[in-house]
Structure 1
Amino acid sequence: MGHPATGAGMPDGLQRRLGLFDAVTIGLGAMIGAGIFSALAPAAHAAGSGMMLGLALAAAVAYCNATSSARLAARYPASGGTYVYGRERLGEFWGYLAGWGFVVGKTASCAAMALTVGSYLWPGHAHTVAVAAVVALTAVNYAGVHKSVLLTRVIVAVVLVVLAAVAVALLNSTAPDSGSLGVGDDATLGGVLQAAGLLFFAFAGYARIATLGEEVRNPSRTIPRAIPIALGTTLVVYAVIAVAALRVLGPMGLADASAPLSEAVRAAGAGWLAPVVRVGAVVAALGSLLALILGVSRTTLAMARDRHLPHVLAAVHPRFKTPHRAELVVGGVVALVAATADLRGAIGFSSFGVLAYYAIANASAWTLNPDEGRPARFIPALGMVGCLMLAFALPLTSVIAGVCVLTFGAAAFALRRVVAARTP
């Protein structure tokens, strides 16, 4: 539709190095991250005994988003994800708005993950550690996506081992159950929706697979397979850990926990595991940060190619075959935000931007024809409605900040069009 994507066969294209296992690993590295170590407490606080309903709702919306994204990625295997899909299916403005929401929202996510690393590793100097983590992982990404995948494999393996140990300790605990896993009177519809929005933040990493469309081998086959595998694996892990934590701490205990999994293993009589959980949280946050920087830089590359961002950021390194300028700029901005931002504010702001991004992805998938691999119509419809519903169920400050940022982006787009029209 008039915007041919830069591909591997073009001089400035990225190299297709990633197979199915690599793509799944990147998705797992983004999803099985710091969210499982931190999102359970605020979700339990919002929904009480309805937290598992929130998890189920977040997973259902994520499934719709993943299905829509997979079909679109197979049709448009280029860097940029929903920025490309929205542009091709809905028009330039909607693609731009998706890309703007993703880059700004996920920059906040990067800062949140970096601050999580700092909070667990050296609480008294969280911002300093966060900046150091961003610099180190930006250097890894700069040296090539293949090196990023190798590091992500190690991170995912470590986190899965830690979570498996936590699940075994909690499920085998002889401590008396602290509460029912059923839904009680403390659960409200608004609380369940807000919990779903908070837990969705931890599921959103499958977009990283789609944004790497130019670096995946046989993308029309690999991406639609990798996304549901990564999402399904993550859902199983999250569900097992959430049930185990609720069984030991109960909804109230989980809601009041500052470090939910550490406190759960102590309550289960496995206090020796608490330092291991701490290390796991740091490694998980590093994995999420690595994958996030990877995805944001690729969307920045795609937007720079179309001159929605400075065109100088569209350069691909001649040796490493990475969007090196985009990665350096993204790394610099994330480091600045991580040095100054508040962790909770960053997470809430990010959630709104990500949900807006996926709403546009579902709207784009709705327009696919049957011969283009369109999913069943109810999937993008439910996904779009679900994204908007969860976005506006977030805390009011997050909603206001998100709406303001999207409005600013829309105004910048309109101003650019006016200037371009007046330029001879």
Structure 2
Amino acid sequence: MTSAPAPASAPASAPVPPTAARVRSTGGSPVRDILAVTARPEVINFAGGLPAPELFDREGVAAAFRHVLEESPAQALQYATTEGEPALRSLLAARLTARGLPTDADDLLVTTGSQQALSLLAAALVDPGDTVLVEEPCYLAALQVFGLAGARILAVPGDAEGPDPDALADLVVRERPKLLYTVPTFQNPTGRTVPAARRAALAAVAARHGLWIVEDDPYGELRYDGDRVPWIAAHADARDRTVLLGSFSKVMAPGLRLGWLRAPAELRRACAVAKQAADLHTPTVNQLAAARYLAVNDLDAHVRRVADVYRERRDAMLAGLPDALPEGSVWNRPDGGMFLWVRLPSSYDTTESLARVVRQDVAYVPGAPFYAGEPDRSTLRLCFVTQTPEEIGEGLRRLGKGLGR
């Protein structure tokens, strides 16, 4: 009797191709990683840039959604144009025009959050190896976007008033960058605001040397002190070379994922093509609900109510910092926005200190990830809008303990 032959072994599987090099070389968001670690309810979290949820106009937003779903469900639940719903773009154009920047609906492209606007601009403007200039420090997710685009990212030296125009001019001449990315009003992460004269100087550099300016303005309506500073996009020197980004995330609700970009026609069309490839269009129902909200509610009055609460919370944090931070620490006093910036004595490394601080059930974001160049490891970002003044006081007490105050 012969035995059956042994089954042939399955051939070894070949490994699948690796992920793209640009993804492997671009790190994840430390802010998102910290939020995952600090999700426990007992943690007082100064790390996230989260609007206070109790201040959302829940009924107003819900009523807007009910209206569009009851009155125009076929339109609300259908595909829409890539550029965005005309009613929403018209209302946004009117808001920008009223604030000193004449704008038509056709000047705008609605995006799925202003974060998508950044991605579209990178797709439309940046080829691998192109140079992009950023602030120092810089909004972290912008560094991710430009990194994924394969850009060479250089920081423009600056000071408490923002990027230095002379340093910018030197870099433009030497490096021939595609664009400068800036958050000139209540910047993330520092909370600083670029004054009017500095904005004019930056616009003049862009005009003289040939440069796009990407002006990101998610926080500008959250002003607590002082007068509004005109956008860089409103300067005659920069009108044909500035892209202005805006968002409903900080003034209505981030869950709507509604933003927009205002750009010259050729670049705006290129961004529309990139958006067609990304998601076809921003959700129709969200756009129509936002348009309905703007049409029947006073968004400016809502923002003033929110700003009054945020001002109180900013002041509570400023009042508590002297007792919470080590001697020799310095920090700024932002006129608006959501963040303030702290520099501890040079002996501190805020990345290394974070684990000890989190054990006290409080969290911040270390400053190092916000730098395109050599980081200042003694820095950190604090968000002051999410907690009540009482919670801020307790959080600062815990922070001081974690830092060995």
Larger proportion of helix = 1
Q: What TM-score comes out, normalization by structure 2 length? A: 0.31
TM (norm. structure 1) is 0.30
Q: Which fold has the larger relative contact order, with Cα–Cα distance below 8 Å and residues 6 or more apart in sequence?
A: 1
